[in-house]
């Protein structure tokens, strides 16, 4: 089936993600920030869908929006919100911030002007049907070693968390 | 326009894949209507069955045998005052029930009621269902926090802890079923809901009975995790009445509360249909190979009509057992009318063209209905778990069992 209203959905989803991202840093209430972050992550999942990567979109929803953000909210709800609302929201390092923003802006402009020669005109569209299989072949075939190292890193993090949280093991 | 509508009828895919917006909308409306009716029926059945399990009568006043009770409840909820606590976080309080309802209903676009009877078939069907239903916990957490009150917050914390822990066991059980789909001749597995049922058809076995007892254990893990995931008894700690009043929806009333109610029941139907699709053969009728042949096909296809005829007959038994006092005359006539309607539906299902089209929907719904009955049965049978016991069951029993079954399934798939 041919995709419909692609342009509309692209601008809708990226606008949603951007607005939600701005809300994350401007809201005073941490719970509202977390909820805005969830919205941003969902918008990103939609963008993955538009890139013919349904598996990545599904995993994004399950892991980030459904798993990690629930734990975020879980912790934030236990924080004393009245106290945290009185605290300062932004720090004073605006010089570094402006430098970083300018550098990123220059990068974007460069990509926009010179990008045509750097990137291929059209990305080859993988068939949507085999997306999950392609990812599996890549992860467990071509990039097996990197994948295992990443999982080892996670294992170390889990053990570290258990060691720090439990006094007597 | 008419050609556009007709163009889908001959095709053998779902309207979503055929790209037919009209039929997709029709399917969405039908599923929405069917779900609402199912929730209303569940409301009545749950009160009635629980009452009979406890040797009570249950609702008897509104309509014959309390049949109109859910409608009376719905009207009461709609015209009730809608209260918002003055210290509540207005926007989050308002949006929480909407999030819960949207997530509960969205999952149904991939539920396969038949080979062509689904809104669409996604390449990531199971993943989509698990992901979207895991978002419903966000709505619960938002409701609990925004109420700005102790009991709802406790309920929301319990709910998020419980759902995050049981999601892992659930996911492992699902993965072991998805592994089994890759044992077709083609050698590639699938996550699509329709594809999973079709591979059970090809392999000639429901996945609950594949690699006995591995499939059965995975099914059991899922069946326990799904009760915890929907916050139902015996894992209904987020809304434990004796400890937390009503848990996360303590501060909700009227229409908003009814949205939570609707979402809870449709989430129950959604997880049951995942279980049916993955392990119990979805829309396939029982014993397709043991009892094969055109005679058995005919017998099994008649069962849908027979079920409705039996229901109608039961209504007529009720008519004759009704007290003969003139006070009960209207109720008796109403029950007789209900029986006639059920009987007519049964007769309609005997017509060959209807019979062939409805058969797979009937088998799917019958299996889901069995799970719905189990939910009520659990609630009538098991006492509520304590929270540490709940966590222990999730992390120390279901999770290791799930991992073990996953590994053994992979080994069995390679060796056998």
The pair of three-digit structure tokens given for residue A115, joined into one six-digit string: 């990008």
> In 10 A of CB B38, how many CB atoms?
19
The pair of three-digit structure tokens given for residue A125, joined into one six-digit string: 């569209």
On the question of pLDDT at A106 being above 90, the answer is: yes
On the question of pLDDT at A54 being above 80, the answer is: yes
Q: Which residues from chain B sit within 8 angstroms of residue A67, using beta carbons?
A: 134, 164, 167
Three-state SS string over B322-388 comes to: CCCCHHHHHHHHHHHHHHHHHHHHHHHCCCHHHHHHHHHHHHHHHHHHHHHHHHHHHHHHCCCCCHH
Task: Go through B148-184 and write b for each residue having 16 or more CB atoms within 10 A of its CB, e for each that does not.
Answer: bbebbbbbbbbbbbbbbbbbbbbbbbbbbbbbbbebe
Cβ-proximal residues to B3 (8 Å cutoff; 6+ apart), any chain: none
Mean pLDDT throughout B326-334? 81
On the question of pLDDT at A2 being above 60, the answer is: no
Peptide bond preceding B213: is omega within 30 degrees of 0, i.e. cis?
Answer: yes
Cβ B24 vs Cβ B121: under 8 Å: no
Q: Which residues from chain B sit within 8 angstroms of residue A31, using beta carbons?
A: 89, 92, 145
Q: How many CA atoms lie within 13 A of B82 on its CB side?
A: 9
CB of A30 less than 8 A from some CB of B: no
> What is the per-residue pLDDT across B88-113, written as a single tens digit (0 to 9) for each?
777 888 888 898 899 888 888 888 88
Q: Write down the pLDDT at residue A101.
A: 92
Going from the C-alpha of A140 to that of each of A108, A143, A150, B28, B90, the distances in angstroms are 34, 6, 13, 38, 48
On the question of pLDDT at A81 being above 70, the answer is: no
For an interface test with A, which of B8, B87, B124, B167 has the most A Cβ atoms less than 10 Å from its Cβ? Answer: B124
Q: How close A74 gets to chain B, by Cα (Å)? A: 6
Q: How would residue A157 be classed by pLDDT, with cut points 50, 70 and 90?
A: very high
On the question of pLDDT at B9 being above 80, the answer is: no
For an interface test with A, which of B98, B123, B178 has the most A Cβ atoms less than 10 Å from its Cβ? Answer: B123
Torsion of CA B219, B222, B228, B232, to 10 degrees: -50
Q: What is the DSSP string of A11-52?
A: HHHHHHHHHHHHHHHH-SSHHHHHHHHHHHHHHHHHHHHHTT
Residue of A nearest to B92 (CA): A32
The secondary structure of residue B118, as a DSSP letter, is S
Q: How close A130 gets to chain B, by Cα (Å)? A: 8
Q: How would residue A103 be classed by pLDDT, with cut points 50, 70 and 90?
A: very high
Chain B positions touching chain A (beta carbons under 8 Å): 16-19, 89, 92, 122-124, 127-128, 130-132, 134-135, 137-138, 141-142, 144-145, 153, 156-157, 160-161, 163-164, 167, 188, 191
Cβ B31 vs Cβ B114: under 8 Å: no
Are residues A66 and B145, on separate chains, in Cβ contact within 8 Å? no
- The answer to the question of residue B276 being in a domain is yes
- The answer to the question of residue B269 being in a domain is yes
Q: How would residue A5 be classed by pLDDT, with cut points 50, 70 and 90?
A: low
On the question of pLDDT at A132 being above 60, the answer is: yes
Going from the C-alpha of B332 to that of each of A107, B68, B81, B329, the distances in angstroms are 79, 13, 34, 5
Are residues B138 and A61, on separate chains, in Cβ contact within 8 Å? no
Q: How close A37 gets to chain B, by Cα (Å)? A: 12
On the question of pLDDT at A120 being above 70, the answer is: no
Q: Which residues from chain A sit within 8 angstroms of residue B92, using beta carbons?
A: 31-32, 35
Are residues B123 and A1, on separate chains, in Cβ contact within 8 Å? no
> What is the per-residue pLDDT across B367-415, written as a single tens digit (0 to 9) for each?
999 999 998 998 888 888 888 888 888 888 999 999 999 999 888 888 8
Torsion of CA A16, A17, A22, A25, to 10 degrees: 130
Are residues A61 and B19, on separate chains, in Cβ contact within 8 Å? no
> What is the per-residue pLDDT across B271-308, written as a single tens digit (0 to 9) for each?
999 999 888 888 888 877 777 777 777 777 788 888 88
The pair of three-digit structure tokens given for residue A157, joined into one six-digit string: 């993090």
Are residues A61 and B92, on separate chains, in Cβ contact within 8 Å? no
Q: Which residues from chain B sit within 8 angstroms of residue A78, using beta carbons?
A: 157
CB of A74 less than 8 A from some CB of B: yes
For an interface test with A, which of B13, B131, B159 has the most A Cβ atoms less than 10 Å from its Cβ? Answer: B131
Q: How close B90 gets to chain A, by Cα (Å)? A: 12
- Please tell me which of A69-73, B48-52, B290-294 the model is most confident about, judged by mean pLDDT: B48-52
CB of A61 less than 8 A from some CB of B: yes
> What is the per-residue pLDDT across A11-49, written as a single tens digit (0 to 9) for each?
999 999 999 999 988 887 788 888 899 889 989 988 888
> What is the per-residue pLDDT across B402-414, written as a single tens digit (0 to 9) for each?
999 999 988 888 8
Residue of B nearest to A3 (CA): B19
CB of A35 less than 8 A from some CB of B: yes
Q: Which residues from chain B sit within 8 angstroms of residue A38, using beta carbons?
A: 138
**Residue B97 structural domain:** 69-284+385-415
The pair of three-digit structure tokens given for residue B41, joined into one six-digit string: 């029926």
Q: Pick B37 or B292 by higher pLDDT.
A: B37
Residue of A nearest to B96 (CA): A35
Q: How close B226 gets to chain A, by Cα (Å)? A: 16
Residue of A nearest to B123 (CA): A129
**What average pLDDT does the structure give for chain A?**
82
- The answer to the question of residue B290 being in a domain is no
Q: Give the residue among B159, B167, B142 at the shortest CA–CA distance from B244.
A: B159
Q: How would residue A123 be classed by pLDDT, with cut points 50, 70 and 90?
A: low
Q: How close B288 gets to chain A, by Cα (Å)? A: 29
Cβ B193 vs Cβ B111: under 8 Å: yes
CATH architecture of the domain with range A1-83 = Up-down Bundle (1.20)
Cβ-proximal residues to B406 (8 Å cutoff; 6+ apart), any chain: B172, B175, B176, B179, B218
What span, in angstroms and rounded, lies between the C-alpha atoms of B113 and B129?
15
What span, in angstroms and rounded, lies between the C-alpha atoms of B328 and B322?
7
Q: Give the residue among B315, B362, B311, B379 at the shortest CA–CA distance from B46.
A: B379
On the question of pLDDT at B20 being above 80, the answer is: no
On the question of pLDDT at A125 being above 80, the answer is: no
**What average pLDDT does the structure give for chain B?**
84
Return the axis-axis angle of helices B193-203 and B254-279, rounded to nearest 10°.
30
Tokens 């609302």 -> residue: A85
Phi, psi of B227 (to 5 degrees): -70, -40
Q: Give the residue among B329, B155, B317, B141 at the shortest CA–CA distance from B238.
A: B155
Going from the C-alpha of B411 to that of each of B58, B180, B214, the distances in angstroms are 51, 11, 11
The predicted model scores a pTM of 0.86
């Amino acid at each position: 089936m041919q995709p419909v209203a692609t342009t509309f959905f692209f601008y809708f989803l990226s606008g949603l993600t951007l607005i939600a991202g701005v809300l994350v840093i401007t809201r005073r209430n941490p719970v509202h920030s977390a909820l805005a972050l969830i919205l941003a992550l969902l918008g990103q999942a939609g963008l993955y869908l538009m890139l013919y990567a349904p598996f990545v979109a599904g995993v994004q929803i399950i892991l980030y929006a459904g798993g990690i953000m629930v734990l975020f909210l879980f912790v934030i709800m236990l924080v004393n919100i009245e106290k945290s609302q009185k605290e300062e929201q932004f720090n004073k390092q605006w010089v570094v911030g402006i430098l970083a923003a300018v550098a990123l802006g220059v990068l974007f402009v460069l990509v926009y002007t010179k990008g045509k020669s750097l990137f291929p005109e059209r990305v080859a569209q993988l068939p949507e049907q085999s997306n999950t299989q392609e990812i599996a072949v890549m992860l467990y075939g071509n990039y097996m070693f990197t994948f295992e190292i990443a999982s080892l890193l996670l294992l170390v993090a889990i053990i570290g968390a258990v060691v720090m949280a439990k006094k007597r093991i | 326009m008419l050609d556009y509508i007709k163009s889908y009828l001959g095709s053998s895919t779902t309207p979503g894949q055929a790209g037919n917006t009209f039929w997709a909308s029709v399917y969405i409306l039908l599923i929405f209507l069917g779900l609402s009716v199912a929730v209303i029926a569940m409301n009545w059945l749950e009160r009635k069955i629980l009452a009979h399990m406890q040797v009570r009568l249950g609702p008897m006043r509104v309509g014959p045998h309390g049949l109109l009770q859910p409608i009376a409840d719905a009207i009461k909820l709609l015209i009730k005052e809608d209260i918002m606590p003055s210290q509540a976080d207005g926007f989050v309080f308002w949006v929480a029930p909407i999030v819960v309802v949207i997530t509960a209903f969205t999952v149904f676009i991939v539920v396969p009621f038949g080979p062509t009877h689904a809104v669409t078939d996604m390449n990531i069907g199971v993943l989509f269902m698990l992901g979207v239903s895991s978002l419903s916990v966000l709505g619960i957490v938002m409701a609990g926090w925004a109420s700005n009150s102790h009991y709802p917050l406790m309920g929301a914390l319990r709910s998020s802890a419980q759902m995050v822990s049981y999601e892992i066991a659930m996911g492992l059980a699902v993965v072991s079923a998805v592994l089994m789909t890759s044992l077709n001749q083609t050698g590639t597995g699938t996550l699509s809901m329709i594809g999973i049922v079709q591979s059970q058809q090809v392999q000639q076995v429901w996945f609950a009975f594949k690699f006995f007892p591995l499939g059965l254990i995975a099914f059991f893990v899922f069946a326990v995790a799904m009760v915890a995931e929907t916050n139902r008894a015996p894992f209904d700690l987020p809304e434990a009445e004796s400890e937390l009043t009503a848990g996360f929806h303590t501060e909700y009333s009227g229409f908003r509360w009814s949205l939570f109610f609707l979402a809870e029941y449709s989430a129950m139907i959604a997880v049951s249909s995942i279980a049916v699709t993955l392990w119990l053969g979805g829309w396939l009728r029982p014993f397709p190979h043991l009892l094969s042949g055109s005679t058995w096909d005919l017998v099994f296809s008649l069962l849908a009509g027979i079920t409705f005829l039996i229901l109608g007959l039961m209504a007529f038994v009720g008519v004759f057992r009704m007290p003969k006092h003139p006070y009960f005359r209207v109720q008796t006539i109403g029950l007789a009318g209900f029986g006639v309607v059920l009987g007519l539906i049964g007769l309609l299902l005997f017509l060959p063209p209807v019979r062939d089209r409805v058969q797979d929907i009937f088998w799917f719904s019958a299996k889901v209905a069995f799970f719905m009955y189990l939910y009520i049965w659990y609630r009538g049978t098991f006492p509520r778990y304590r929270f540490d016991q709940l966590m222990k069951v999730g992390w120390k029993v279901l999770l290791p069992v799930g991992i073990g079954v996953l590994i053994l399934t992979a080994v069995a798939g390679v060796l056998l």
